[in-house]
Structure 1
Amino acid sequence: MPQAVLLNNIDHHDLRVITARGARYGDDTMLAPTFFREFRDLQAYYPIVFQKTAQGGFQPMALLGLRADENLFLDKRFLDGRNQIQRWDAHYLPIAVERLPFLIGIADDEPMLHIDLDHPRVARGAAAEGEPLFLEHGGTTAFLQRMASMLRALHDGLRDNAGFIAALLRHRLLEPFTLDIRLDDRSELRLTGFHTIYEQRLRELDGTALHELSQAGYLEAAYMAMASMSHLRDLIERMNRRRAADR
Structure 2
Amino acid sequence: MPRHAVLNNVDHKDLRVIRAHGERFGDDVMAAVTFPAEFRSVQSHYPIVFQKSQDGTTFQPLALFGLREGENLFLRGGGWDAAYVPLAIERQPFLVGFDGAEPVVHVDLDSPRVSRSEGEPVFLPFGGISDYLEQVNSMLLALHQGLQSTPAFVAALLAHDLLEPFSFDIERPDGTQRLAGFYTVHEERLQKLDGTALAQLHQAGHLLPIYMVLASTSHLRDLADRACQAGNERVHA
- Runs (5+) with no aligned partner, structure 2: none
- Amino acid of the structure 2 residue aligned with 1:33: V
Output the TM-score relative to the length of structure 1: 0.93
Offset, 1:108: 2.5
Matched, 1:216 2:217: no
Alignment of 1:204-243 (within 5 A): 204-243=192-231
Q: Secondary structure at the match of 1:59?
A: strand
Q: Secondary structure at the match of 2:178?
A: strand
- Amino acid of the structure 2 residue aligned with 1:206: D
- Amino acid of the structure 2 residue aligned with 1:200: E
Offset, 1:186: 5.9
Alignment of 1:110-189 (within 5 A): 110-124=102-116, 128-183=117-172, 185=173, 187-189=175-177
Match of 1:87 in 2: 79
Offset, 1:92: 0.3
Report percent identity of matched pairs.
Answer: 55
Output the TM-score relative to the length of structure 2: 0.97
Aligned match for 1:96, one of 83, 88, 96 = 88
Q: Secondary structure at the match of 1:190?
A: strand
- Amino acid of the structure 2 residue aligned with 1:7: L
- Amino acid of the structure 2 residue aligned with 1:239: A
- Runs (5+) with no aligned partner, structure 1: 78-85
CA distance in 1, matches of 2:189, 2:112: 44
Match of 1:28 in 2: 28
Task: Show structure 1 runs of 4+ deviating over 2 A.
Answer: none
Can you list the C-alpha shifts for 1:47-94, whole angstroms capped at 9, x where unaligned?
00000112421000000000101100000x3xxxxxxxx121100000
Q: Is the 8 A contact 2:18 2:115 kept in 1?
A: yes
Q: Is the 8 A contact 2:171 2:228 kept in 1?
A: no
Q: Is the 8 A contact 2:13 2:122 kept in 1?
A: yes
Match of 1:80 in 2: none
Alignment of 1:190-201 (within 5 A): 190-201=178-189
Q: Would you say how many aligned residue pairs link Structure 1 and Structure 2?
A: 234
CA distance in 1, matches of 2:21, 2:170: 28
Offset, 1:157: 0.3
Q: Secondary structure at the match of 1:115?
A: strand
Match of 1:65 in 2: 66
Q: Secondary structure at the match of 2:112?
A: coil
Offset, 1:215: 1.1
Cα RMSD after superposing both structures: 0.9
Offset, 1:43: 0.5
